[in-house]
């Protein structure tokens, strides 16, 4: 009888361990996004999207440095490729799987997120994301980053929205870690009620927001009930005022001597 109780307890512990979902470490995610900002960002303020497949450990271990698997030389290849609006970068090597794109300025409906999640015929398979997911597994961590938040008109509510593409990603990467990250809120959407809009994304893939200057910070936008945090739907406040006041004061003082 005692053995049976012990066995049941062991089975329960195993089931609990299996049910625990590994989540990305926000501090590690911040370093990854900051690396993209410094080494991949096409030009200041330019919209682009990038996805990378890492291991779960690389998304949780704070000692991990992304440049050990995605070198600055490789990042430059991605940056140089997407500087041309019409080109999509697909960089698959022994050490790293990366896809990236900017919006196609000749076709406004082909926004950067859409171009990565769907193929040229607007479906699956063989989209850049499908190619990346072929090399992913239950031990993988897939990070999808877009500089600006997905626009409401096209990316979330439009005929060419990204929701089906996100579902395709999640269905093919059920056991792995998946995160969808943005930095800025698309300026046209600042007056929108983004809470319900962003919930549509977070219901499929965990949504994060990462921003900063010298030091990036990442927050998980949705709670366990997919309620979106205020910091994820409001414009980031600038420290410019205090910095400018101090700078003017220093200039004034230096002019006195």
The mean pLDDT values, 10 residues at a time, for the chain of 257 residues are: 45 38 90 98 95 98 97 97 94 94 88 95 91 96 98 94 97 96 97 96 98 93 94 71 34 36
Looking up tokens 């600038």 gives 238
Adjacency order of strands within the sheet including 140-148: 88-92, 97-101, 49-55, 140-148, 177-184, 207-212, 216-220
Contact 51, 70 (CB under 8 A): no
- The three-point CA angle 45-49-52 to 5° equals 130
Query: Which residues does 203 contact at the CB level (< 8 Å), separation at least 6?
Result: 226
Looking up tokens 């096209």 gives 154
52-90 per-residue burial string, b: 16 or more CB within 10 A, e: under 16: bbbbbebbbeeebebeebbeeebbebbbebbeebeebbb
What are the φ/ψ torsions at residue 148 (nearest 5 degrees)? -100, 150
Looking at residue 251, the DSSP 8-state letter turns out to be: H
The string of pLDDT tens digits covering residues 49-90 is: 999 999 999 999 999 999 999 999 999 999 999 998 899 999
The string of pLDDT tens digits covering residues 25-60 is: 999 999 999 999 999 999 999 999 999 999 999 999
The pTM score is: 0.85
Nearest to 130 by CA among 68, 173, 175: 173
pLDDT computed for residue 106 by the predictor: 87
Looking up tokens 């999207």 gives 49
Displacement of CA 168 from its chain's centroid (Å):
16
Cα(141)–Cα(58) distance, rounded to whole angstroms? Answer: 8
pLDDT computed for residue 22 by the predictor: 66
């Amino acid at each position: 009888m005692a053995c049976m109780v012990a066995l049941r307890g062991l089975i329960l512990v195993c089931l609990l361990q299996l049910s625990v979902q590994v989540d990305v470490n926000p501090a590690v995610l911040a370093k990854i996004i900051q690396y993209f900002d410094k080494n991949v960002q096409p030009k200041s303020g330019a919209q682009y999207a990038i996805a990378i497949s890492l291991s779960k450990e690389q998304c949780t271990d704070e000692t991990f440095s992304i440049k050990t698997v995605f070198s600055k030389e490789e990042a430059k290849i991605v940056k140089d490729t997407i500087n041309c609006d019409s080109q999509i970068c697909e960089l698959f090597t022994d050490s790293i799987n990366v896809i990236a794109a900017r919006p196609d300025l000749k076709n406004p409906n082909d926004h950067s997120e859409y171009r990565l999640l769907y193929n040229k015929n607007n479906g699956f398979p063989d989209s850049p994301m499908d190619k990346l997911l072929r090399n992913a597994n239950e031990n993988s961590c897939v990070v999808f980053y877009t500089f600006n938040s997905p626009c409401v008109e096209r990316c979330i509510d439009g005929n060419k929205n990204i929701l089906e593409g996100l579902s395709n990603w999640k269905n093919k990467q059920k056991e792995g870690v998946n995160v969808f990250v943005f930095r800025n809120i698309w300026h046209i959407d600042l007056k929108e009620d983004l809470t319900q809009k962003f919930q549509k994304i977070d219901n499929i893939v965990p949504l994060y927001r990462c921003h900063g200057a010298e030091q990036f910070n990442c927050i998980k936008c949705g709670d366990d009930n997919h309620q979106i945090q205020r910091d994820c739907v409001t414009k980031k406040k600038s420290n410019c005022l205090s910095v400018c006041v101090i700078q003017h004061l220093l200039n004034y003082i230096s002019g006195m001597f």
